[in-house]
Structure 1
Amino acid sequence: MNADVNPQEQGLRIGTAPDSWGVWFPDDPQQVPWDRFLDEVVAAGYEWIELGPYGYLPTDPHQLADELGSRGLKLSAGTVFTGFHKGDDQWQRAWDQALAVAGLASQLGAEHLVVIPDLWRSDATSEVLESRTLTDEQWTKLGAGHDRLGKALLEEFGVKQQFHSHADSHIGTTREVNRFLDETDPRYTNLCLDTGHFAYYGGDNLRLVEERPDRIGYLHLKQVDPTLLFDVLKNDQPFAAAVADGIMIEPPYGVPDLAPIIEAVARIDPDIFAIVEQDMYGCAVDRPLPIATRTREHIFGCTHLARIS
């Protein structure tokens, strides 16, 4: 722990997500059932969760409120997927998702929507779907689409858009993330900084936090296995296959170190959420709980700038 940390500073709220239980889809018989997920979140020692893929948890707001409330759980955010670089026809697709996801999440008190860009390579089939890079025209469409979405989310639901850079997407490297920030308006579009996905392409999370502090709105905490990463990149392995091979690894065995990032972001705004989100799709249903428990213990053991509630 850094010696210059002020003990009076307030830590970030640490939560978890269905992704840390291997959940990528609303309905997959190999995934842990939603009620078991909620029970195990409590057993692992967390109070905050994300909605996960829409339809995994109950979508009736009264039922979901009852299920969360009975377990002492609270909702931090929902998630949608967008492809604004593809053209104007993508607006309706994004807004239809937002109406459902932000509509539900906001009724349960969530104030954030994590927005993940479409991947150029499918995470379901590994099929290459489009070019890996964007043209200048596509960058302009991308930025304008996200600002329009962020403005509408604020006006309709009081929800803030938090953009999530992602492996196998057009926004993954440091240069791409910075260009995205330059293309968008901080009033409507900021980052869900996923520490693992940013490190996947060699990004320095702490440096990004220090250089763009006004654009950090939300955190996903995860680590990349550095012993596997260069093989993944050299062999152009699809992200889903890399996940199956364990590219996202349990802390503290990967990179980046989470404590300095948590501490730097806590100084920006202690109300920012830091949600543990270790990509584990395809794992056995008994595997996540011990990892989630140890991860919480690690985070609270490496920094005091973390809190449960």
Structure 2
Amino acid sequence: MAHPTPLDRIRVGSAPDSWGVWFPDDPQQVPWERFLDEVAEAGYDWIELGPYGYLPTDPARLTDEVAKRNLKVSAGTVFTGLHRGPAVWEETWAHVGQVAALTQAMGARHLVVIPSFWRDDKTAEILEPPELTAEQWAHLAKGMERLGHEVKETYGLDIVVHPHADTHIDTEEHVERFLDSTDGELVNLCLDTGHYAYCGGDSVKLIETYGERIGYLHLKQVDPDILAEVVAGGVPFGPAVQRGVMCEPPSGVPELGPVLQAAQRLGVELFAIVEQDMYPCEPDKPLPIAVRTRRFLRSCGA
């Protein structure tokens, strides 16, 4: 059997998301101690913080908890609605500052930025039009550039914007428009392979076309049959996840081997964090999947 090319520039990790964690505090989620124990047991070295407040927010305590399990933190995550213009800046910065300070204290270098949802992921209520106006696009681009600048100046972190289903940065057209209207010195992308496929995009093509803008990866796959039903029925993202639209690799799309090879060819160090959306899920479900996923990624050379 041919050995895969070693992906020596790719640092693999996982995230609370792969344990069914979407909220800081929710009785349907596994306790944070169990997540840390199991992510280490599954063979991962790197983790993300997940929703702010799920893991301990005291840097000394969190440092101790991750160190004793031989884990390291790759990034924190923030949610933003910067297309709404300068009026939301102060509120956004207050949230970003909390998460960025903890991320910096944990020695991480990245802040994953998720745009706000136009459709509620729990209730499916339409909150805003799915298409932005020209003015809103301008607010979004300028706001993200400002955020990238301020986060770098204040906390020494790089922001990576995460295209996401049911947000305004989702399809190939929207992702390319966003990249073309922002400065790569200030703003780069967290390419989530599952969300991009969910919205019809080709991850390998994006990496090959906009390689210098790919700052971070989330590894995820979609089940094409469930996705077809979801698209046909106009199902919102939250209920789609409950149907199992995000599936265990290598059973879905895109193929992760070619994505990782394309990322390796960029010639830069990149995190590739596994995120299999499973909210809500049975507490015993994530660990076996995580073990199998880690084994699969090793078979790809990662």
TM-score range, shorter chain: over 0.9
Q: How does 1:182-261 map to 2 (within 5 A)?
A: 182-261=180-259
Where do 5+ consecutive residues of structure 1 fail to align?
none
Query: RMSD value over aligned CA atoms?
Result: 1.4
Aligned partners of 2:9 and 2:270 also within 8 Å = no
What is the CA–CA distance in structure 1 between the aligned matches of 2:185 and 2:95, rounded to whole Å?
21
What is the CA–CA distance in structure 2 between the aligned matches of 1:57 and 1:147, rounded to whole Å?
28
Match of 2:61 in 1: 63
For residue 187 of structure 1, report the CA deviation from its aligned partner: 0.7
For residue 230 of structure 1, report the CA deviation from its aligned partner: 1.2
Deviations 1:156-187, CA, capped at 9 Å, x for gaps:
11100000011011111000000000111101
Query: SS in structure 2 opposite 1:78?
Result: strand
Moved more, 119-128 or 52-61: 119-128
Aligned residues: 302
Deviations 1:259-307, CA, capped at 9 Å, x for gaps:
1111111221442100000101111111000011111111111x22x2x
Distance 1:6 1:238, change over 3 A: closer
What is the CA–CA distance in structure 2 between the aligned matches of 1:2 and 1:21, rounded to whole Å?
33
Aligned partners of 1:34 and 1:56 also within 8 Å = yes
* 2:22 matches 1:24: yes
TM-score normalized by structure 2? 0.97
TM-score normalized by structure 1? 0.95
Match of 2:176 in 1: 178
Match of 1:35 in 2: 33
Q: How does 1:105-144 map to 2 (within 5 A)?
A: 105-144=103-142
Deviations 1:236-267, CA, capped at 9 Å, x for gaps:
00100000000000001100000111111122
Query: SS in structure 1 opposite 2:86?
Result: coil
Specify the code of the residue in structure 1 equivalent to 2:106.
L
Match of 1:152 in 2: 150
What is the CA–CA distance in structure 2 between the aligned matches of 1:10 and 1:292, rounded to whole Å?
21
Distance 1:269 1:56, change over 3 A: farther
For residue 93 of structure 1, report the CA deviation from its aligned partner: 2.0
Where do 5+ consecutive residues of structure 2 fail to align?
none
Specify the code of the residue in structure 2 equivalent to 1:130.
E
Aligned partners of 2:52 and 2:77 also within 8 Å = yes
Q: How does 1:76-87 map to 2 (within 5 A)?
A: 76-87=74-85
Specify the code of the residue in structure 2 equivalent to 1:63.
R
Superposed structure 1 runs of 4+ greater than 6 Å apart: none
Query: SS in structure 2 opposite 1:54?
Result: coil
Match of 2:96 in 1: 98
Aligned partners of 1:11 and 1:263 also within 8 Å = no
Aligned partners of 1:10 and 1:270 also within 8 Å = no
Match of 1:291 in 2: 289
